[in-house]
Amino acid sequence: MALPCRHATPRNGCRICWLSQNDERYAQLWSADVGARRVTYAPAPDRAPGLSPEQLEMLRRIKLHMASPCQHLGEALEDKPSCGCGGTLAIKHACSVHGQCRISSRDKALPNCIDCDSYVARVL
């Protein structure tokens, strides 16, 4: 059996060796015999458990804005968010409509692209 880790025989502690012996997908990928142990996977749920429809809509909008930033969004004006929020979505940016904005933030002192009526997806 030729594994990408190049071990002639499966080695204890090697993740690739373990995957080749226990996960059918990797065994097929590397043409190894899985043996008696097989890993099975349940189908993914239709939606994340415990999230309200409003939360799911917010996540959808965040993904949309990350994939297609607003065409009015300019360059970043700070390295990390000055509003106290974490992550890159809360970084202050120049905006050709509002002057300054954030993609998404709990701080409502500046407009947020996520809630903005002027949002227009940038054509890449």
Task: Note the pLDDT of residue 36.
Answer: 43
Cα–Cα distance, 63 to 47 (Å, whole number):
15
Task: Note the pLDDT of residue 31.
Answer: 64
118 and 72 Cβ atoms separated by less than 8 Å: yes
pLDDT in tens, the chain (124 residues): 566 777 777 777 788 878 878 888 777 776 644 454 444 555 555 556 678 888 888 888 888 877 888 999 999 999 888 888 878 888 999 999 999 999 888 888 899 888 889 988 887 6
Question: In the block, which residue shows the tokens 């905006």?
Answer: 95
